[in-house]
C-alpha cells in the first residue's frame, strides 16, 4: 500500500471512530486528484467504502451497508469521487477493541461497521418489563412502536439517565416462518447508555429477519408505501358497504363510521402472542361487526321482534338479535349467493369466538400460534367483507366508482 493510501485510510478511520456519530470522511476535503487512485486501491483491497448518498440522502452517515466493490469501482470510473469515505467492516474488525466498548454491545457493532439503519431483531418479550412499569407508555400499530416516558414522570426521569431508557422509534420484522419480532435500528440502540443496552441484549434473536415492508419503505427508504394494513382495508370495505346500503335502503347498517384513520382501540395486530391478547381481539372484532349493527336498519324489512309466552301464559314481546335480523334480511335480499353466506358466517364466527372465553376460566398462555390465528381470521374477515361489498354494490344501482376502484387496487398487507 502506498504511503498516501495508508494516510487516507487512517483519516477515514479517525473520522469514523472519533466523530461522535460514526461519520464518514468527506471527499471534498481531498483537493489532490491523485487521491482517486488511492481510493481505488483501498476499495479494491476491501479496506475502504465510498458512500455516495445514492440510496440515502445523507452520505455523512453510513445509513445502509455499502455497495459491492465492483459497483463502487464502476461509479468511481464513471463519476469520480463523491460523498464520504468509510473504513470497511472487514478493516474495523481488525482494529476496534471490544474492551473499549464494555457493556455497550450495540455501540461496538457500529464501531465495527454496522450501518446505522441496519436493525437488530428482538423477542417480543423485550418490551414486557416496560408494560409492567407504569412510568412508560407503549404506542404500537401494525408496523411500528415506540416506548416513551409518561408526561407525569418525564421531569424526574429525565434527570436520571438510568431510568431514561425509552425507544423513540422501532418497528416489526418477521422470520421465515412469519414469526413476529421487534426491530430497532443500530443507531437508536448504539446511542443508549450501557445499562440500557444490557437490558436489551438478552432478547436478541438469531436467524434471518426482514423488516415489515411498510416500515422498511417509510423508515429506511423515506418512501411512501402503497400497502394498506388488512385492518384498515377491512374498515374501508365496511364503510363502503355501508355507503352502498345507505343508497340501497336509505339507512345505514352500522352505527359507527369507522375508517382507516379512525380505528377502534385494540383493532390491530396483537403485540404479544398470548391467550389474553387474542381474546381481547376477538372481543373488539365482534364489537366492530354484530355489536355495531343498528337495529333501526331492519325496521320494515324483516321481523324485529317475536312474541313469546311464559309458563304463566303471559305474552312478552322479545327483540331479535342483530345477527338473526341480519341473517333473515340478507337471505331474503340475496338468496343463496356465496358472498352473502360468507358475510353471515363471518358475523356468527366472530360472535362465537368472543363468547367462548367468557364461559371458560383458563390461565394465560404464550404461543406464536395466536399470531397465525389472528392473521387467518382477518384474512377471512376481509375477504368476506369485500365479497359482500361487491355483491351489494352490484345491486345498489349507484356504484361509488372512485372509492370502490381504490379498494380493488389496494395492496393489502396481512402482516
For 37-57, the pLDDT digits (tens) are 899 999 999 999 999 988 888
* Mean local confidence (pLDDT), 77-94: 95
Confidence band, pLDDT 50/70/90 cuts, at residue 6: confident
pTM, two decimals, is 0.81
Q: What is the pLDDT of residues 12-44, one digit of tens each?
A: 999 999 999 999 999 988 866 678 889 999 999
Q: Tell me which long-range contacts 347-351 makes (C-beta under 8 A, separation of at least 24).
A: 347/289, 347/290, 347/323, 348/323, 350/282, 350/285, 350/286, 350/289, 350/290, 350/381, 351/286, 351/289, 351/290, 351/323
pLDDT tens per residue across span 241-276: 998 899 888 899 999 989 877 888 889 999 888 899
Res 134: pLDDT: 87
How large is the C-alpha radius of gyration of the chain?
Answer: 29
Compute the residue count for the chain.
415
Q: Minimal CA–CA distance to 87: which of 21, 37, 31, 15?
A: 15
**Average pLDDT of the residues in 159-172:** 76
Report helix, strand or coil for 243.
helix
pLDDT value of position 49: 97
* Identity of the highest mean pLDDT range in 242-256, 309-323, 337-351, 382-396: 337-351
Percent of the chain with pLDDT over 70: 91
The per-residue pLDDT for 400 is: 59
pLDDT band, very low/low/confident/very high, at 357 (cuts 50, 70, 90): low
How far apart are alpha carbons 196 and 191 in whole angstroms? Answer: 10
**For residues 106-117, b (16+ Cβ closer than 10 Å) or e, as one string?**
bbbbbbbbbbbb
* Nearest Cα to Cα of residue 130 among 156, 160, 163, 106: 163
pLDDT above 90 coverage of the chain, percent = 54
Give the per-residue pLDDT at 249: 87
Average pLDDT over residues 94-115: 96
Residue 400 C-beta-side C-alpha neighbours within 13 Å: 21
> How high is the pLDDT of residue 361?
52
Residue 401 has pLDDT above 70, yes or no: no
Q: How far apart are CA 48 and CA 88, in angstroms?
A: 5
Q: What is the model's pLDDT at position 227?
A: 78
Q: What is the pLDDT of residue 395?
A: 81
Q: Residue 113: how many CA atoms within 13 Å on its side-chain side?
A: 21
| Burial status of residue 119 (CB atoms within 10 A of its CB: 0-12, 13-18, 19 or more) | buried
Amino acid at each position: 500500500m502506498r504511503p498516501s493510501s495508508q494516510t487516507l485510510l487512517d483519516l477515514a478511520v479517525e473520522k469514523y471512530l472519533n466523530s461522535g456519530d460514526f461519520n464518514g470522511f468527506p471527499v471534498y476535503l481531498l483537493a489532490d486528484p491523485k487521491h482517486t487512485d488511492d481510493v481505488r486501491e483501498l476499495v479494491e483491497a476491501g479496506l475502504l467504502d465510498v458512500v455516495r448518498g445514492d440510496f440515502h440522502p445523507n452520505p455523512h452517515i453510513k445509513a445502509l451497508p455499502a455497495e459491492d466493490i465492483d459497483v463502487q469501482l464502476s461509479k468511481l470510473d464513471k463519476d469520480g469521487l463523491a460523498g464520504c469515505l468509510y473504513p470497511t467492516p472487514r478493516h474495523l474488525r481488525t482494529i476496534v477493541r471490544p474492551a473499549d466498548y464494555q457493556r455497550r454491545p450495540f455501540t461496538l457493532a457500529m464501531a465495527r461497521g454496522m450501518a446505522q439503519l441496519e436493525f437488530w431483531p428482538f423477542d417480543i418479550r423485550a418490551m414486557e418489563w416496560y408494560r409492567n412499569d407504569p412510568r412508560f407508555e407503549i404506542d404500537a400499530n401494525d408496523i411500528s412502536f415506540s416506548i416513551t416516558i409518561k408526561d407525569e414522570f418525564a421531569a424526574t426521569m429525565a434527570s436520571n439517565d438510568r431510568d431514561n431508557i425509552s425507544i423513540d422509534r422501532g418497528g416489526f420484522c418477521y422470520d421465515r416462518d412469519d414469526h413476529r419480532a421487534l426491530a430497532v435500528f443500530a443507531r437508536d440502540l448504539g446511542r443508549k447508555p450501557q445499562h440500557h443496552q444490557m437490558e436489551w441484549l438478552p432478547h436478541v434473536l438469531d436467524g434471518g429477519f426482514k423488516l415489515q415492508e411498510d416500515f422498511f419503505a417509510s423508515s429506511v427508504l423515506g418512501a411512501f408505501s402503497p400497502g394498506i394494513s388488512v385492518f384498515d382495508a377491512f374498515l374501508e370495505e365496511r364503510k363502503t358497504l355501508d355507503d352502498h346500503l345507505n343508497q340501497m335502503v336509505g339507512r345505514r347498517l352500522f352505527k359507527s363510521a369507522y375508517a382507516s384513520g379512525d380505528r377502534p382501540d385494540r383493532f390491530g395486530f396483537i403485540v404479544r402472542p398470548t391467550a389474553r391478547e387474542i381474546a381481547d381481539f376477538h372481543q373488539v372484532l365482534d364489537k366492530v361487526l354484530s355489536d355495531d349493527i343498528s337495529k333501526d336498519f331492519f325496521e320494515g324489512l324483516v321481523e324485529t321482534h317475536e312474541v313469546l309466552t311464559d309458563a304463566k301464559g303471559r305474552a312478552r314481546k322479545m327483540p331479535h338479535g342483530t345477527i338473526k335480523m341480519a341473517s333473515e334480511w340478507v337471505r331474503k335480499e340475496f338468496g343463496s349467493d356465496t358472498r352473502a353466506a360468507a358475510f353471515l358466517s363471518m358475523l356468527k364466527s366472530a360472535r362465537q369466538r368472543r363468547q367462548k372465553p367468557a364461559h371458560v376460566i383458563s390461565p394465560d398462555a404464550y404461543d406464536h400460534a395466536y399470531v397465525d390465528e389472528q392473521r387467518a381470521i382477518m384474512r377471512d374477515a376481509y375477504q368476506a367483507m369485500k365479497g359482500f361489498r361487491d355483491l351489494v354494490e352490484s345491486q345498489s344501482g349507484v356504484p361509488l366508482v372512485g372509492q370502490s376502484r381504490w379498494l380493488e387496487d389496494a395492496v393489502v398487507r396481512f402482516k
